[in-house]
Every structure is written in C-alpha cells, then in structure tokens.
Amino acid sequence: MEMQPQPDRSVPADAPLPGVVPDAYRTVTPAPRSRKALWWTLGIVGAVMSLFGCCAIASLAVFSSGNGLPASGDSVAVIYIDGQISGVSSSGLSGGSITPEGVIAQIKRAEEDPAVKAIIFRIDSPGGTASASEEIATEVARCTKPTLASVGDVGASGAYMIASQCDEIMSTNSSAVGSIGVIMEIGDYSELARKLGVKFLAIHEGEFKDAGSPWRGLTTTETAMLQADVRLTYDNFISIVAKGRDMSDADVRKLATGWAWPGVKAKSLGLVDSIGNYTDAVNRAGKLGKIEGEPVIVTYSDESLGTLLQQLTGLVDRLGALGASAPSLTPSTPTIH
C-alpha cells in the first residue's frame, strides 16, 4: 500500500508560500505629495476667503444707524475725531491715528447721502500735525450740509482748527477748548554724547541737511529759520480759525496763546457757541438739518477692506518691526498741540 506524504505539522497552516510577503509586513505607499499639497492649498484658500468674507460683511455693516440697522429717513451723520491727528504712511496704515484720508472719506459719504441732513463732528483730541489738521479742516469748510462740532473732553489745537470750520461749536462747561498755537520740538543730546565720549558724524550735501540732528545743537541761523517756519504755520492757523469763526485775525491772535480754556470760558471768548452734551448736539444738529422728530444717527468707518485684512493677519505688526529705523536727522513736523 502506497503511503501518502503527510503535511509538516511544525509549519502553521496559514503560513505564506515561499516568496510571498505577508500583508502585515507590506510597506504602505504614502499618498502622493501633490494630493497633500492640494488639501493644504484648499484649506489656506478657504481660510483667506472666509477672512475676506468677514471683512466684506464688516465693510457693509459700517454704514448703519445707531441700532445697527441700515439708515432710513432723515439722518444725522456722526464723524469721530478722537485721538492724535496725523498723516498716513505710504502703506496706507494709520497706526490708530486720525488721518485726513479716513475723515475725508466719511465726509464725502455723508455729503453724498441724501438721507443725511446734518453732520456732527464728535471731537475728543489734543490736536496733531499742522498739515493733517489743515487737510481735514479744509474739507469740513467745504461741506454743503449743516455741520456741528461736539467737543467732549478735549478740542484743542489741530482739533480746534477742525471744529472752527463747522457752522457751530458745542462743548461742555468742562471741555478743554482752544490751544491755538504751534510747537516744533528738537532734542539735543550733544552734551550727553560729549560726556560719554560718543561722536556722531553726519556726512551730507546741503548746508542745512542735518539741521535738527539730536547729536548737535542748532546754530543761530538754523534756529532763526525754524522759528520763521513755525511763525508761518502759526499765522496760517490764526487765519483759518478767523475765517471759520467769522472773527478778525487780530481778535484770534489775542487768543492764540497756546492756552486751552474750560468750555464755559471758551464760550465767553467766542470760541464756542453753546454748552451741551452729545444728546444736545444731536438735537441741535437735527434742527440745523430741519429734521422733524428724532433724527436717525448714522456712523461710518474709515477702515478700508485692505487695511482690515492686514490688521487681521498681523501684517501691521510685522511691517512695523521691519520698518524700525534710526532717529531722523531732520526737524520734527510742526505740531499744533
């Protein structure tokens, strides 16, 4: 009888055939990198689109009434001048300051809106640069609709220049109003540098190119030239206020001492027309605009979509860090505060 070969019981029945790799030991081939990159790209694009959507919604929402609804009916536009007034950088970023671009954009929107019958400039500012303040004041003077300046804590210097171009100025009894004057500040660290044994050399062409350098004092000629520049700015300031307030240059000059008076005193000096708070200002603006009943309050935002996006992504902070530089060698911009 022929014997059949018996299977080798020492080898598991499920053992793989020779040359065959078990599934458990197979190497899993990763997904192509292009597919992962695609998902990352889609995710980033989605996040950016969501960010743009939020910015767009914010931009649509900035034109609203006091209760957050679209403005309807006869309205009073309120434009805020709260903080330092300064020019804007080439990047379009203001760094939180009140800029001519932002305020002028709001003025134009108020002027073009047929529902807006009057404009309130709600002011709480110590002033700022002479040029930026004049830019805003010029545009306020061009308004065809009734304008009212409502001063909160402070309406001084450049902020008062702006207020003076309104049809009327209202403040509280305690508001600080006025401060008509100009200042240019220049540091002089030359004595400190001499004591420390530090020398600072400025290589330049043009006799006065390094005038105002903090590492040396001003010459007699430079001091006289800068004083003349400040005087021109000061005279221009007086002229603007005189025209806006319908006063003579001589009368304004008497008050142009750089001092800010309490609102009650400013009223007696002719710098303010009436005393009242924000509610009183809204009611008065409604009357100036010939609005029957309680006016709808309209506010605007001076932030552009691009600026909002830059701020949300943190680009502003990074640009600020990269843009840090050594102190300027030129005198500071004339400031009216």
Residue 71 located in a structural domain: yes
Residue 132 located in a structural domain: yes
Q: pLDDT by residue (tens digit) across 286-315?
A: 999 999 988 999 998 745 444 444 444 444
pLDDT at 178: 97
Residue 21 located in a structural domain: no
Distance CA 140, CA 270 (A): 20
Q: Taking 50 as the threshold, does the pLDDT of residue 57 lie above it? A: no
Instruction: Tell me, rounded to whole angstroms, the distance of Cα 162 from its chain centroid.
Output: 17
Closest CA to 145 of 102, 112, 103: 112
C-alpha distance from residue 271 to each of 71, 174, 267 (Å): 33, 14, 6
Q: What percent of the chain has pLDDT over 90?
A: 51
Q: Give me the CATH number covering residue 90.
A: 3.90.226.10
pLDDT at 204: 84
What average pLDDT does the structure give for the chain?
79
Residue 47 located in a structural domain: no
Residue 317 located in a structural domain: no
pLDDT at 7: 53
Whole domain around residue 294: which residue ranges?
59-306+328-336
Q: What's the whole-number mean pLDDT along residues 54-67?
A: 45
Confidence bin at 23 (pLDDT 50/70/90): low
Q: pLDDT by residue (tens digit) across 63-120?
A: 444 444 445 579 999 999 999 999 875 445 555 689 999 999 999 999 999 999 999 9
Which residues are known catalytic residues?
157, 209
Q: Three-state DSSP class for 122? A: strand
Phi, psi of 183 (to 5 degrees): -140, 145
Residue 253 located in a structural domain: yes
Q: Would you say the pTM of this structure is higher than 0.85?
A: no
Confidence bin at 212 (pLDDT 50/70/90): confident
Distance CA 190, CA 216 (A): 5
The CA R_g of the chain, rounded to the nearest whole Å, is 33
Of the two residues 214 and 326, the one the predictor is more confident about is 214
Q: What's the whole-number mean pLDDT along residues 317-332?
A: 42
Sign of CA pseudo-dihedral 325, 327, 331, 336: positive
Q: How many independent structural domains does the chain possess?
A: 1
Q: What's the whole-number mean pLDDT along residues 5-11?
A: 54
Which region among 92-101, 117-126, 275-284 has the lowest average model confidence (pLDDT)? 92-101
Q: Three-state DSSP class for 261? A: strand
Alpha helices in the chain (DSSP H): 33-61, 100-112, 130-141, 158-163, 190-196, 220-245, 249-255, 263-268, 278-288, 305-312, 315-322
pLDDT at 328: 40
Long-range contacts, stretch 43-52, CB < 8 angstroms, 24+ apart: 51/309, 51/312, 51/313, 52/305, 52/309
pLDDT at 305: 47
Residue 206 located in a structural domain: yes
Of the two residues 303 and 282, the one the predictor is more confident about is 282
Distance CA 191, CA 327 (A): 17
Distance CA 77, CA 89 (A): 27
- Within 8 A by CB and 6+ apart from 129, the residues are 85, 86, 87, 158, 333, 334, 335, 336
Q: Taking 70 as the threshold, does the pLDDT of residue 319 lie above it? A: no
Residue 76 located in a structural domain: yes
pLDDT at 330: 46
Distance CA 128, CA 272 (A): 20
Whether 242 and 252 have beta carbons less than 8 Å apart is answered as yes
Whether 102 and 94 have beta carbons less than 8 Å apart is answered as yes
